Amino acid sequence: MCPARLSPLQPIRILKTSRKAIGLVGLGLLGGALAERIRQAGFDVPGFDVNPARRRALKELGGRPLESAAEVAAACERIVMSLPTTAVVESVVREMESKLRAGTVIIDTTTGEPGPTAALGARLAKRRVRYLDATIVGNSEQVRTRDVIVLAGGTRPSVAACRDVLECFARQTFHVGPCGSGARMKLVINLVLGLNRAVLAEGLSFAGTVGVSPERALEILKSSAAYSRVMDTKGSKMLERDFKPQARLSQHLKDVRLILSLGKKAGAKLPLSALHRRLLEQVEAAGAGDLDNSAIFKAFE
């Protein structure tokens, strides 16, 4: 069955409300950046991650590391989750569930599977717990500079209840429909964004092979009709082989697999994404999965 049509993207004006504690579960690259922004905005940030080093980093930011996701749920009415997969999200929600109160809002920034995400939202709604699949378009460094957008799937009242939180790190928020819609729209964006990175990597590699300075090629590409913002964020990283992760290559490979799975169910033709998956798998198999997603450049070296 084809996914429901998304409502037109409408920007939501962000308003400031009260400054209460905001829980955070998942303190990796993206979660750590979210913790910085939310803490800088003046919120108390109780948080949890299975990695003790990340909990220590939260304490250094002035947050309150706790010993479990359930403790975060007990301490906060609004909880941000930044986790790797839908399966992990479901596991964490089960752990928190006994502590979730009616009126609690979960803001899930995970790029997950639309179907299970929608089902989780429906299940939580029966307990009067509000759930947003609030996927983020941008990487951890862009979160730090408030240069990301949020695609929020859920009810408009739920989005309104989180406007002050979203304002901490997002320059714009779009309400895209019910739960699961944020995940669907994020996969659309990641399809185009990931292919932009792959095309840039191939183009810069091609330039060097045919005797054009890749640095000069990047400069001219930025002024040409071929320009994309990926050239600003990933071009120099590719040329300098600076693959310190802002968003990991393996995480994007996970997204491409989700794109292909959703596309198969919906009957979509995705030949470029199928090729992209093979390139990413090749780079991951060479040991570069934990590097930045700009390491797709290695597929053309």
pLDDT at 98 over 80: yes
Helix pair 181-209, 271-283: axis angle to 10 deg: 70
Q: Which amino acid is at 149?
A: I
User: 194 — phi, psi (to 5°)?
Assistant: -65, -40
pLDDT at 41 over 50: yes
* Domain 186-300: CATH class, spelled out: mainly alpha
| Local confidence band at 20 (pLDDT 50, 70, 90 cut-offs) | confident
**pLDDT for the residue numbered 3:** 35
Diameter over CA atoms, the chain: 64
Report the percent of the chain where pLDDT is more than 70. 94
Domains of the chain, residue spans: 15-179, 186-300
Q: pTM for the whole thing? A: 0.86
User: Higher confidence at residue 6 or residue 82?
Assistant: 82
CA distance 60 to 86: 29
Task: Name the burial class of residue 12, with classes exposed (0-12), middle (13-18) and buried (19+) by CB atoms within 10 angstroms of its CB.
Answer: middle
Assign 3-state DSSP to the chain and report helix, strand, coil percentages, each to 5.
55, 15, 30
Mean pLDDT of 39-54: 96
Q: Give Cα separations from 257 to 2, 54, 284 (angstroms).
A: 18, 28, 14
Given the candidates 1.10.10.10, 3.40.190.10, 3.40.50.1820, 3.40.50.720, the CATH classification of the domain at 15-179 is 3.40.50.720
